[in-house]
Amino acid sequence: MGRIRERMEADLKLKGFAPTTSKEYLLRARNFVAYYRRSPEELGEEDVRKFLLHLVDERGVRAATHRMYVAALRFLFAVTLKRPEVVATVPWPKVPRKLPDILSGEEVERLLSAVRSLKHRALLMTAYGAGLRISEACTLEVGDIDSKRMMIHVREGKRGKDRYVMLSQKLLDTLRLHWRRLHPRGRYLFPGAFPGAPITPSAVSLVLRKAVAAAGLTKRVTFHALRHGFATHLLEAGEDIRTIQRLLGHTSIQTTARYTAVSKAHIARTRSPLDMLGTPAARAFG
């Protein structure tokens, strides 16, 4: 793509897209151009539709991947090439909403106990104890830990939003032990292999996979499962869903409300209408 790739990369930066999202968009756009081996300036709506059908029919890509391609091509044509008419009628694919596997409290303890490295255990404890995304946990800085107010300052989360979350005393004790033993140089709380750089999400994912195997967990556990567990366990403990929304940094309450569908305690507290028949409560049914 050359010149166009550079323009698209610059546009993504100016729009404030996260580095991981920018990388995905550029990759999808490059694959589109490689499919035709022509400049996207020479391609139109039918070319976009033909490429997307190729992804679905011949390559069998998942709905989430299909949606990422649509988003990338919409950005390429509408923003970078200033040809929004090319993608104006390209439909968004429906992505099935699957409920996540939720770890129990005992399973979280087993998982954390299976991590030998104190640094890695502290990072996973931070993710679960504060409900952080993997990018947020990896890039935490020493100055983000406020032990006086017992809060963590999460900087530039999703869509560039800052927020504050609680700082668990148990987590603070572990972070202090991690600091005394490693005494990391630079500003990052969890430094990576290269000086001055934070630990990478890929390195953390590898640690997590090994810990899941060592703990003997059979559920599908990704880093995000710790964030799911944070939200679900708070809900089961009786925390207000609006508070959980703010802690997670969700823009919409609907995103947070999905945890009511996986909370066993929340479901168990809900009374079946069958049990209400023949009682005064059934009057609400008419």
pLDDT in tens, 273-282: 656 656 787 6
Residue 137: per-residue pLDDT: 94
**Whether 133 is catalytic:** yes
Rounded CA-CA distance 16/10 in Å is 10
**Whether 224 is catalytic:** yes
CA-based torsion, 171, 101, 216, 237: positive or negative: positive
Residues 6+ apart with CB under 8 A from 145: 152, 167, 172, 175, 189
**Whether 159 is catalytic:** no
Strand 145-146 relative to strand 163-166, pairing = unpaired
Does the pLDDT at position 272 exceed 60? no
Ordered by start, the domain boundaries in the chain are 3-86, 105-268
**Which of 244, 228, 218 is CA-nearest to residue 100?**
228
223: Cα within 13 Å, side-chain hemisphere: 23
Residue 157: per-residue pLDDT: 64
Q: Which CATH number does 3-86 carry?
A: 1.10.150.130
Average model confidence (pLDDT) for the chain? 88
Rounded CA-CA distance 215/222 in Å is 14
Q: Do domains 3-86 and 105-268 have the same CATH topology?
A: no
Which range scores top for mean pLDDT: 157-161, 231-235, 268-272? 231-235
Rounded CA-CA distance 85/74 in Å is 10
| Length reported for the chain | 286
What is the separation, in whole angstroms, between the first and last Cα of the chain? 65
Q: How far is CA 207 from the centre of its chain?
A: 18
**Which of 160, 82, 171 is CA-nearest to residue 122?**
171
Question: By percentage, how much of the chain surpasses pLDDT 70?
Answer: 90
Rounded CA-CA distance 96/64 in Å is 8
Residue 270: per-residue pLDDT: 58
| Superfamily (CATH H level) for 105-268 | Intergrase catalytic core (1.10.443.10)
Determine which one of 15, 224, 242, 264 is catalytic.
224
pLDDT in tens, 197-222: 999 999 999 999 999 999 999 998 99
Determine which one of 83, 158, 163, 210 is catalytic.
158
Determine which one of 74, 133, 228, 233 is catalytic.
133
**Whether 250 is catalytic:** yes
Residue 254: per-residue pLDDT: 75
